Structure 1
C-alpha cells in the first residue's frame, strides 16, 4: 500500500515514496506523526502495540529536533551557528555543534574537498547574482575563493572554543539534516522501539522493518515519477541531492543551488545523486558531494572512504553511474 509521496518545492530536490505492507501482525499497529520542522515535513513512522507508549517519546523527539535547529540554523539570527558567523568566535560551544563541525571536517577530507561547509560566501555571491540577473566576475569569485576550504575557514575547533576566519561563513545545510535524523534515531532506539522510520525533507533512516517484511521499500526519483525502488535495511539511511526544484536563473540559464568548491560555480547539470549509508549524516553529505563530481574514478574513490555506502547517479533519461551493490528491488520506468 502506497503511504504517500512528498514533494518539497524550493526545499527538496527530489520526490520520495515510502511503501508499507499489510499489517498481518495484529499486535503491531502503525503510528505516523508529522510536524513542520526545518521548513518542511518531519515525519516519524513507528510500529508499536499501544499508542500510549508512543506519544510521549515522539513529542520528546520533536523537542530534540527543535533544540538542534536552534544550534544549526542558518536562518535564525539567534542560532549558535549564526552567532559564530557573526562574531567569528564561540566560547564553550554546544557539544552537538562541535561534533557536527568535526564530522564536517572529516567529510571535507573524505570527499577530496567537494563537500565544504565554508562555501557560504560564494553561495552569497551567486544568490546576489540571481537578484541582479548578472553573472559575478571571475575576479570577484577568485578573491572570495581565497577564504574557501575547511582549513582556511576554521581556525579552532574544540570543546572550549570555535573560531573561523574573519572573511569566512559556514553553512551546515548539507549535513545537519542527516545529523538531526541520526539524533532522533538514537533517541527512539534507546527507548527500545523496534520498527521505525524517520524522514526529514526526503532524507530517511530506518530501524527494523514493517511487520512481516525484512526491509523498508523506498522509491526515489528526480521528479514526481517513481523511478527506482530501493531496499533499505535496518539501521541504513538514504539521501538524495539534485537541482530539480532548487535553482537560480541568471542571464537566461539555470544554475543549481549547489556550488562546486573547486570551480566556485554552481552545478549546471540536471543529474540526481542518491546515497545509502550506515547513517543519515554520511548519506546526507555524500549525496551533496556526488552531485558535484562528474568523474567516475573520483566518485568511486570518495564512496569507498565511507564503509558500506552505495550510490546511484541518474537523470530523467536513466542511470548515469551506480555502485555494483546498490540495492534495487525493481525499476519502474514511467
Structure 2
C-alpha cells in the first residue's frame, strides 16, 4: 500500500468516526443520544442509533439485564457527587433514588422513534466504541483494505497481516496496565476488554465505570475481562456485561448466544486466569 493510499484510508476512517460521534457522543450537546437524553423522545432517529439499540436489546436480554445502558442515570449521580466532593453516604442515598429511573427494558423503540421513561438517561459507551470500530473496519474493507487492524480501544481486523499471519493482540496486566501479561491471535473476529482500572470516580478506584444496573454499585468481580466475538459491537457489549456476572452465568450465556464462537479470558482479583468458550480461535 502506498503512502498516499494509506493517507486516503486514514482520512476516510477519521471521517466515519466523526460522523458516528455526532450520533453517540455524550460530550456533544448536538448528538442524537444527547438530544434523546435531554428531551426523552427522539423522532426520526438516525438509523445507526436504532440499529445499535436493537443490538443492545439483544445483549441486554441475553445477559439477563447485566448489560443496561440506563446506568447513565447512576453515572450522573456519581459524577455530580464526587465532582463536588460529597461523601459516600450521600452518594449511596442518591443511587438508591436513581434505581427508580433505570431499566432498559422500559425503553420504547418503534421504527425511528425512541421514547425513554421519565428521568432516564442512556449511555452507549459500553458498546458504541465497538460499533464504531465495526463501521470503520467495514468501510475500509469496501475500499479494498484487506490487511488492516482497526484499534479504537476495541480491535477488529479486515483480514490477516500482509504476510498472511494473524495479528497478535496484547492483554494488559491489570495489576500493572502498562505491562503486557499475555497475547492472543486475531484474524476473523473482534476483541474487547473491560477493566475497573480504566475509569474511576474516587482515588482508590472503588467507584468505577462498571456499574451494576440493579444497584448502581461498581463491580469488583474481575480485575480484567476480554471477549472475542463475531464483531466488535458484540465483543464490547458482552465484555461490559460479563464483568458484572458470575463465571457460571457467563458460561450459560455463551452456550445460548447466537455467536457460537464467543471466547472469554478473565483475570480474577487474585490474579488467576480462566478461559471460557472458544477463546483460542483467531
| TM > 0.5 fold call | yes
CA contact (8 A) 1:275 1:312 kept: yes
Pairwise CA distance, 1:241: 0.6
CA contact (8 A) 2:206 2:218 kept: no
Q: Look at both structures and tell me which one has the larger radius of gyration over its CA atoms.
A: 1
- Matched residue of 1:256: which SS? coil
- Matched residue of 1:225: which SS? strand
Pairwise CA distance, 1:266: 1.3
CA 1:95–1:316: 2 relative to 1, 3 Å: same
For 2:150 and 2:166, locate their aligned partners in 1 and report how far apart those are by CA, in whole Å. 14
Structure 1 or 2: larger strand share? 1
Pairwise CA distance, 1:257: 1.8
Match of 1:275 in 2: 227
Match of 2:67 in 1: 115
Pairwise CA distance, 1:274: 0.5
- Cα offsets for 1:65-124 (capped at 9, x unmatched): 101001100011111110111111111111111111111111111111111011111122
Pairwise CA distance, 1:324: 5.1
Total equivalences in the alignment: 275
Pairwise CA distance, 1:143: 3.1
220, 238, 243: which one aligns with 1:291: 243
Match of 1:321 in 2: 274
Match of 1:23 in 2: none
Normalising by structure 2, what TM-score? 0.90
CA 1:253–1:219: 2 relative to 1, 3 Å: closer
Match of 1:32 in 2: none
Of the structure 1 ranges 142-151 and 72-81, higher mean CA displacement relative to structure 2 is found in 142-151
Match of 2:136 in 1: 184
For 1:315 and 1:183, locate their aligned partners in 2 and report how far apart those are by CA, in whole Å. 32
For 1:56 and 1:70, locate their aligned partners in 2 and report how far apart those are by CA, in whole Å. 22
Unpaired segments ≥5 residues, structure 1: 1-47, 330-334
For 1:123 and 1:163, locate their aligned partners in 2 and report how far apart those are by CA, in whole Å. 20
For 1:146 and 1:225, locate their aligned partners in 2 and report how far apart those are by CA, in whole Å. 41
- Cα offsets for 1:253-291 (capped at 9, x unmatched): 722221111332112355100011110000111111111
59, 73, 87: which one aligns with 2:11: 59
- Cα offsets for 1:153-172 (capped at 9, x unmatched): x123422x121122110111
Normalising by structure 1, what TM-score? 0.76
CA contact (8 A) 1:89 1:162 kept: yes
Relative contact order (alpha carbons < 8 A, sep ≥ 6): 1 or 2 greater? Answer: 1
Q: Does 1:309 align with 2:266?
A: no
Unpaired segments ≥5 residues, structure 2: none
Match of 1:94 in 2: 46
- Cα offsets for 1:195-232 (capped at 9, x unmatched): 110001x2110122223343111111121111111011
193, 212, 216: which one aligns with 2:163: 212
CA 1:253–1:199: 2 relative to 1, 3 Å: closer
CA 1:323–1:146: 2 relative to 1, 3 Å: same
